Amino acid sequence: MKHQDFGQWLKAKLKLHNVEQQELARQICVAENTVTSWTTGAREPTIRNFIWICRYIAILENEEPALVVLEAADFF
């Protein structure tokens, strides 16, 4: 599936790994509504949160964080 923006990419990654938005929020220390605003495209994460998101996704995928950053950056 081709993602058009970061929010769609993030939402697809969470769904793929059966991770609720609440769990991502807890893992990276942000409010759940903040994650919701990212997945709906209402807001984009700060660079700092972008890196934390990518690190978390990398753990889920057993992947190098830098590779996840490169993948996600295409949509950011």
pLDDT in tens, 20-41: 999 999 999 999 999 999 999 9
Distance CA 2, CA 21 (A): 21
Measured CA to CA in angstroms, residue 75 lies from 6, 10, 22, 69 at distances of: 5, 10, 22, 10
**With 80 as the cut, is the pLDDT of residue 2 above it?**
no
So what's the pLDDT on residue 60? Answer: 97
Enumerate domains of the chain plus CATH numbers.
6-73 (1.10.260.40)
| First-residue to last-residue Cα distance in the chain | 17
Average pLDDT, the chain: 94
**With 90 as the cut, is the pLDDT of residue 4 above it?**
no
Supply the pTM of this predicted model: 0.90
**With 90 as the cut, is the pLDDT of residue 16 above it?**
yes
